[in-house]
Amino acid sequence: MFYRLSGVYHTRYQAARALWPIAADRWQVILLLALALAAPLFLSPLYLGSYLLPWMIWSAAALSLTLLMGLAGQLHFGFAAVMAIGAYSAIHMTRAGLPFELALLGGGVSAALIGTAFGFAALRVKGLYLVMATLAMQYLVDWVIINVPAISGGAQATLRTPAVSFFGLPIAGLEARYYLALGWAVLLTVFFLNVRRTSFGRALIAIRDKDFAAAVIGVDPFRYKLLAFLTASFMGGVTGALLAFCYYRAVTPEQFSFNVSIQLVAMVLVGGLGTAIGSFLGAGFVLLLPIVLTNLVAALGSAGILDVSQNLMAHLPLIIYGAMIIGFLLFEPLGLAKIYDNIRKYFLVWPFRHSRS
């Protein structure tokens, strides 16, 4: 089989630490990247704009959250609020005349600063209490955004994003917006894959596994918990800004409500905690499966096979979404990344049945 460890000999440490030591994995990544780059050529604008583009941005958001929840082990149920801070800051900065590139960074920085405040709760409590604290902060941030007219533009207001250009390229057409989102998702993926190999990433993993024990061996939990919140909030803030500029092209507070936070956690968990591929698979699954299944039921209904009332149809995405979360937690708690890993390991030793790793 083309896909195996046999014949891969590491003679240097660099080779052993490579991200993808197996040639087939490298080809797979290159192929996927080429497909993503060529997507505007073979996908219709409808699919590109309403499926692939949001998929990339939500994957980037899930990557940011999985850095915090998967690597550092800090549960966060208010990540949509962090993204909202990034989105609103970036919009107000571009409206004030700042260039878009700086506004993106500014959105990230302001999200990082306020998001680190979420982290101060993590210094005191963990687990369930951290969930509750971040949840309360989500409500606080929502309330501030809605009730301060200088931020939201007034009650029930929608702020449209101004026309911007990114390093001279106008971000107006669908292709430009798609490539910007794709670029950010790729950048975050590369960062995420590499951060696990740095001392920073290893410190985060030590904190996740046991913060007291990490403190004993000289990893300062105080510092690294805050750094984890800082990094993830920066990434989340920029992602939120991109979500506003590339996908919605307008912001309202409802786009970043508590339910969105839950959706992000669901993406991370359904995909698999702390894995890059899981963020992409999870985001795609949580976004697309309810839509696909609802369309399927609607098609069956119009074909006269199933009789589903209008009311039930309207609630079907919610039902499927909830059932999906429950199903994954019961039957595959390690998520889609584990399923992918199982398949990959099967082919690594094919035609034998077991691998030792």
Q: Is residue 295 part of the contact set for another protein (CB under 8 A)?
A: no
143 binds another protein (CB under 8 A): yes
- Least distance to another protein from the beta carbon of 5, Å? 31
Which of 72, 241, 265, 276 binds another protein (CB under 8 A)? It is 265
Q: Which long-range contacts (C-beta less than 8 Å, at least 24 apart) are formed by 92-100?
A: 92/151, 94/161, 94/162, 94/164, 95/162, 100/164, 100/165, 100/166, 100/171, 100/245
Q: Is 277 in the site for another protein (CB under 8 A)?
A: no
Q: Which of 5, 322, 342, 343 lies at the binding interface for another protein (CB under 8 A)?
A: 322
- Distance CA(96)–CA(256), nearest Å, equals 23
**Position 159 contacts another protein (CB under 8 A):** no
Interface residue with another protein among 72, 114, 244, 266 (CB under 8 A) is 266
With CB under 8 A as the contact rule, the residue among 132, 205, 230, 287 that binds another protein is 132
Q: Which of 269, 281, 286, 337 binds another protein (CB under 8 A)?
A: 269
- CB 194 to another protein: min, Å: 25
Taking CB under 8 A as the criterion, the residue among 84, 87, 171, 316 binding another protein is 316
Please state the closest distance from residue 105 (CB atom) to another protein, in A: 29
Q: Does 157 bind another protein (CB under 8 A)?
A: no
Structure tokens at 293: 């299944």
Interface pick for another protein out of 163, 213, 288, 291 (rule CB under 8 A): 213
Question: In the set 209, 318, 342, 350, which binds another protein (CB under 8 A)?
Answer: 318
Sequence-ordered list of residues with C-beta below 8 angstroms from that of 5, at least 6 positions apart, any chain = 22, 348
For residue 250, the cross-strand partners are 160
Q: Which of 43, 98, 131, 187 binds another protein (CB under 8 A)?
A: 131
CB of 320 to another protein, least distance (A): 8
What's the closest the beta carbon of residue 111 comes to another protein, in angstroms?
19
| Residues in CB range of 53: below 8 A, 6 or more apart | 174, 177, 178, 181, 246, 247
Distances (CA, A) of 18 to 9, 14, 108, 194, 303: 12, 6, 30, 10, 52
Q: Judged by CB under 8 A, does residue 288 bind another protein?
A: no
- Count of residues touching another protein (by CB under 8 A): 45
Check binding of 135 to another protein (CB under 8 A): yes
Query: Does the footprint of another protein cover residue 264 (CB under 8 A)?
Result: no
Write down the residue that tokens 């009789």 correspond to: 307
For residues 63-82, which are near another protein according to CB under 8 A? 69, 75
Binding residues (CB under 8 A) for another protein: these are: 69, 75, 121, 124-125, 127-129, 131-133, 135-137, 139-140, 143, 146-147, 210, 212-213, 216, 262, 265-266, 269, 273, 311-312, 314-319, 321-326, 329-330, 333
